[in-house]
Structure 1
């Protein structure tokens, strides 16, 4: 993966877009599917995408990032209870690397804790694509992701980490073309970004 350019406020060894393994995370906003595909492209191993049968947000194979189509498995659930059950089972399975799911209803604290325990048991990363305001307090992190429309650049996104149990919140403007795992952080106004230092 190409070296990330980082804002000066980041630690040089930190990856601000990393999702902690063995935990369940949440993402909301119009760019949540793109963020999920970016995370799928970064990982190796099987990826499970679990959705409700009536969900209209369907992925087309030609729109997937490089190397994801052959590892991606879709599961349709007839209802919300079945979706959460399928997520829990997939999180416990090995060697699954990422489980993505799109519930419609708010995730209760009890359901959120069950998913966290399943992720720990399977050493799997979970990512819930939630509607705004419908997350769980049990989530490890919560992101808000939206595209930044521009007549000159269609690859720019704003990814905001607004809940983080293990650290600080961050604000990232990124350029991502949707095709690979390579991404570049865009400097904020009046901030100068430097390439990440090479390993010592």
Structure 2
């Protein structure tokens, strides 16, 4: 098996595939991906989910393209997910299944994404990943030195076609722009002009 070198943009999700994000920062990762994908966006949540995306808190350009589906149960959620992945004009499908997906269900979703030429992102509970997904991201908020910053640690723990890694980035949430942050004590300080 040949592995591709690390891409210039480590956060680019492979198109026509289904990916997973877990951890406390998984919804921030989903919004980051929503900003980066063109076209209509679909977010599928169980009807009883206590938190839903609020239009006023979304990054610029996402609210106008977002369609929120709230099916009654897990079976309906998986049906909505598969059918939405098959719909060709959709840019990104985000779904929040409550139970781990079997290999068979995961494979069906991959085939649906290929058919519809759509990218899928499953926001899963910790340890509930499917063996059929292309990548799995661990997403956690990261403490920063400044209070006015939004730091995230996004770790690529599973990648069927490439490398894995972990990154800390500063993403304010308004646009697709972000800044990579180096690990503590590895920051480049400007030279002292007085010397």
Whether TM exceeds 0.5 here: the answer is yes
Task: Report the RMSD for the aligned CA atoms in angstroms.
Answer: 1.6
Q: Does 1:83 align with 2:101?
A: no
Q: 2: CA distance between counterparts of 1:151 and 1:186?
A: 12
1:57 positional shift:
1.8
User: Could you say what secondary structure the match of 2:21 adopts?
Assistant: strand
Does 2:115 correspond to 1:125? no
**SS state of the match for residue 64, structure 2?**
helix
User: Counterpart of 1:74 in 2: which secondary structure?
Assistant: strand
Residue 163 of structure 1: SS of its match in structure 2?
Answer: strand
Q: Structure 1 unaligned segments of length 5 or more: list them.
A: 1-9, 194-200
Q: Distance in 2 between matches of 1:108 and 1:191?
A: 42
4+ residue segments displaced more than 6 Å = none
Distance apart, 1:59 and its partner CA: 1.2
- After superposition, residues 3-18 of structure 1 pair within 5 angstroms as 14-18=8-12
TM-score (norm 1): 0.87
Shift of residue 151 of structure 1? Answer: 5.8
Higher relative contact order (CA 8 A, sep 6+): 1
Q: 1:57 maps to what in 2? A: 51
* TM-score, with structure 2 as normaliser: 0.89
1:157 equivalent among 152, 157, 167:
152
Q: Distance in 2 between matches of 1:167 and 1:191?
A: 26
Pairwise CA distance, 1:149: 2.8
Distance 1:192 1:123 in 2: 41
Residue number in structure 1 paired with 2:60: 66
Displacement of 1:192 in angstroms is 6.7
Unaligned runs of 5+ in 2: 189-195
**CA offset at residue 150 of structure 1?**
3.4
CA distance in 2, matches of 1:57, 1:142: 22
Inter-partner Cα distance in structure 1 for 2:110 and 2:10: 21
- Per-residue deviation at 1:190? 5.6
- Residues paired across the two proteins, number: 183
Residue of structure 2 equivalent to 1:185: 180
Q: Which has the larger radius of gyration?
A: 2
